[in-house]
Amino acid sequence: MPFPFALPTTSSALLSSFVESATHPSLPLAATTKRSVLKDALKKHKRLAPRDRTAHLPTVQDAISNYVPFLIALYAASGLRDVGTERVDVDVRRPLEVEWRSTLSATLPGREPPRPTLIGLHHEVAFTLSTLAYTHSLLARSQLRMLHDATMMSNEQRTGAITAAMKHLLEVHSIHKYLLGLPSISAAKDAPPDIQPSTISALAALALAEATLLVVSKDDPYAAVVSDDRNESNRDWMFKAPSIPKVRAHVYARLCLAAAEHAGQAQGLLGPGKIDADLVKYVTGLRRTARGKAARFLAIDAELTGKTGEGLAWLQGARKEVGLASELKDGQRKGFKGLKQSWQERREDKRVEKGGEWGMDGGKLEEARVVEMLEAKWDKENSTINTQLVPPWEPLLANMPSGREYHSPQPYQPPQLDAQTLALMRAPPDPSESVFRGDEEDSGGDEYGGSTNEPVGAFPGTSHDYGRRGTSNSYY
């Protein structure tokens, strides 16, 4: 958690061939330069090894942030709107035609996602801001990744990492909501699945669900105890039993139910068959995790009031929500289903250690560990001390309370060109200076381990000394 989005790549485009400005003639060429830097950053990010991409995310974020003001200025001026307090005249020579990699489209195994040609500035705005949202989501994921490292983290460090991830996810939600507020994007009929209104709305709901769950995770001591218990370097085995005040346990349950509602909304908007199956599976798992957490907190609330039997019933409902099929006997899993779950957990732990695509189940395995820990502890106490009857869990789940919202997301304010930069755009472009078109070829491989621009056998960085590029398809 969050979902590991793949950043799309794009083709080069000379924006001055599609738009021109009588009042600010340098604006299209300056935008082309910023876009070329973004294109190169996305290509280089795709070629990096998965373990090296996290460190490159700030570079991609800066490239997008530098391009967005120029793109928004062109988009606003082409719609006869002012840029800030200044009037900018932009004439569209012909509709913009660019290619973007559709990374959320459902594709056959072993095939690259499609790279459709998109027509219009509104598609360029949608893909650029969506890529910025994906980057924020990956930055949030990198913050939460530290919680699974082998090193021990203090409560302050844990809270800081979760708070930073929460801010990134709220920014993701705001960006998607901003895109839905643009009429040309919300009404687009020819958009690929990545930037269709239903997909953008689903991703906004997904980000809000993830951010709401992080509010609970920030103050959830049980998940931290399970994580530390799994850590081999943890020697602090004599710790005070975690406790949650009664009122807060009930509040946390309602927050989890609100997150489950947002995840359920996203699940309904992501139509099967058009969107990547991994994303649909993740959203489904996140919804079940949120409902399992809610049942677990209601169990804690019941146990704190001395109703251990009811608490065990709530835990049985939590097991049902997260899909925990194995049963416990003397605190140990039994049967083939228990072996299968243990194998899945070990495989997930190895993914975390190696920096792989962990958390693709939406956090169900982590929540299942917490539920089993509490169930084993309370069942032992109930069998030896309290001896309370465990009621059926079905009526309890049917009468869950309503969700409660926590966040009040602020609207996204895209960066605008300042007055000084706009004033510089009034000068005509220097004919002696050529616009930067980027160092990456459109035909070059944009995947990890793909082809490069260097001729075969050439020393790196000397491609300009050769008569042809290394990506030529000619035999001679």
The string of DSSP letters for 321-347 reads HHT---EEETTEEEHHHHHHHHHHHHH
Share of the chain above pLDDT 90, in %: 46
| Residues 20, 86: Cα–Cα separation, whole Å | 17
468 in a structural domain: yes
Q: Band the pLDDT of 451: cuts 50, 70, 90.
A: very low
Reduced to 3 states, what is the DSSP secondary structure of residue 468?
coil
Contact between residue 326 and residue 319 where contact means Cβ atoms under 8 Å apart: no
What's residue 190's pLDDT?
83
| Residues 380, 331: Cα–Cα separation, whole Å | 8
- Determine the residue type at 252: Y
Are both 355 and 451 inside the same structural domain?
no
Look at the chain and report how many structural domains it folds into.
3
Are both 281 and 366 inside the same structural domain?
yes
Are both 162 and 229 inside the same structural domain?
no
| Residues 400, 49: Cα–Cα separation, whole Å | 45
Are both 471 and 388 inside the same structural domain?
no
Are both 297 and 376 inside the same structural domain?
yes
What's residue 469's pLDDT?
43
| Residues 454, 464: Cα–Cα separation, whole Å | 9
Judged against a pLDDT cut of 80, whether residue 27 lies above it is answered with: yes
Judged against a pLDDT cut of 70, whether residue 154 lies above it is answered with: yes
pLDDT digits (tens, 9 = 90+) for 73-115: 999 888 878 787 788 888 889 999 999 999 998 887 778 888 9
Closest CA to 42 of 447, 450, 452, 471: 447
The string of DSSP letters for 132-201 reads HHHHHHHHHHHHHHGGGSSS---HHHHHHHHHHHHHHHHHHHHHHHHHHT-HHHHT-SS--GGGSHHHHH
Are both 421 and 363 inside the same structural domain?
no
| Residues 379, 376: Cα–Cα separation, whole Å | 5
Are both 305 and 454 inside the same structural domain?
no
Who contacts 272 (Cβ-Cβ below 8 Å, separation ≥6)?
280
Domain that holds residue 127: 1-195+410-435
pLDDT digits (tens, 9 = 90+) for 278-332: 999 999 999 999 999 999 999 999 998 889 999 999 999 999 999 876 565 555 5
What is the CATH classification number for the domain harbouring 265? 1.25.40.280
Of the segments 122-131, 229-238, 364-373, which one has the largest average pLDDT value?
122-131
130 in a structural domain: yes
| Residues 223, 219: Cα–Cα separation, whole Å | 9
Are both 458 and 419 inside the same structural domain?
no
Tokens in use for 280? 């649909």
Q: Band the pLDDT of 474: cuts 50, 70, 90.
A: very low
Partners of 92 in the β-ladder: 19
Predicted TM-score (pTM) of the model is: 0.85
Q: Tell me, letter by letter, the H, E, C secondary structure of 71-129.
A: HHHHHHHHCCCCECCECCCEEECCCCEEEECCCCECCCCCCCCCCCEEECHHHHHHHHH
374 in a structural domain: yes
- Determine the residue type at 125: V
Partners of 417 in the β-ladder: none
Buried b (16+ CB within 10 A) or exposed e, 433-459: eeeeebebbbebbbeeeeeebbbeeee
Are both 340 and 420 inside the same structural domain?
no
Are both 124 and 242 inside the same structural domain?
no
Please state which of the ranges 59-63, 163-167, 362-366 shows the lowest mean pLDDT: 362-366
227 in a structural domain: yes
216 in a structural domain: no
State mean pLDDT over 190-210.
Answer: 94
| Residues 206, 4: Cα–Cα separation, whole Å | 13
Are both 475 and 383 inside the same structural domain?
no
Who contacts 167 (Cβ-Cβ below 8 Å, separation ≥6)?
none
Judged against a pLDDT cut of 50, whether residue 475 lies above it is answered with: no
Buried b (16+ CB within 10 A) or exposed e, 70-81: bbbbbbbbbeee
215 in a structural domain: no
